[in-house]
Amino acid sequence: MSTQKLILDVETVGVDFETLDAVSQKQMLRYFERYADSSEEVETAKDSLGLWPLTGEVVAIGILNPDTNKGAVYINAKGEDLPEELEPGVVIETGDETTILKKWWETANAYNYLITYNGRGFDIPFLMVRSAINGIRPTKNFLSNRYLTSQQYGAIHVDLQDQMTFYGAMRKNFSLHFWSRAFDIKSPKEEGVSGEDVKGLYKDKKFLEIARYNLGDLKATKELYLKWNQYLNI
């Protein structure tokens, strides 16, 4: 079987804290207060519900083939009139969350080598749980084993956060932005948008800005993968 590579990046948005039921609010507040140093930090944490698939949803799934530079951004924006291409070779497809999750798993089934940054710690678990909630069975298990040499044949997952830190030997997990700066790669943060901005952009229906930010993450991940593969994949 030839190696079919695919880069993945996901954008998520949390529900408004006030929409949670009373019991859920109480449990989340207890969690936030455990780690916060002030009431202001607790209030800020209320906007972090997009970090968990039980309190958030998928709003964008970006994919990029590093060998062909062709890809897509699937946007949770059913009925919105968006251009067919974000740039040459990168299409935009819209639908509700269920639709874009199905598109992702259909696409993933044709690839056997996934590349992410912190995909084991965030993107893939989030996608799998949201898929189950939406009644969708994933077509691949990209979480079979953390270590590359022990992963399932046909579902290799190169999580660059693991690889660049040698599975945590560096002790600190730096962001993709830090690694991009170190290797002279253009960071998507240079455009002035970060993950914290996605919720506001989504509420304002600025779907193209989300798609561009997502694509920026994909491109940075690709360049970091090339550096890792050339110099550190030993």
The confidence score (pLDDT) of residue 152 equals: 84
pTM here is 0.95
CB distance 13 to 27 below 8 Å: no
Per-domain residue ranges of the chain: 5-14+61-231
- In angstroms, the CA 33 to CA 30 distance is 5
Q: Is 141 exposed, middle or buried (0-12, 13-18, 19+ CB in 10 A)?
A: middle
Task: Give which of 171, 169, 165, 158 is closest to 221, Cα–Cα.
Answer: 158
- In angstroms, the CA 15 to CA 30 distance is 18
pLDDT digits (tens, 9 = 90+) for 41-92: 999 999 999 999 999 999 999 999 999 999 999 999 998 999 999 999 999 9
User: Does the domain spanning 5-14+61-231 belong to CATH 3.90.950.20?
Assistant: no
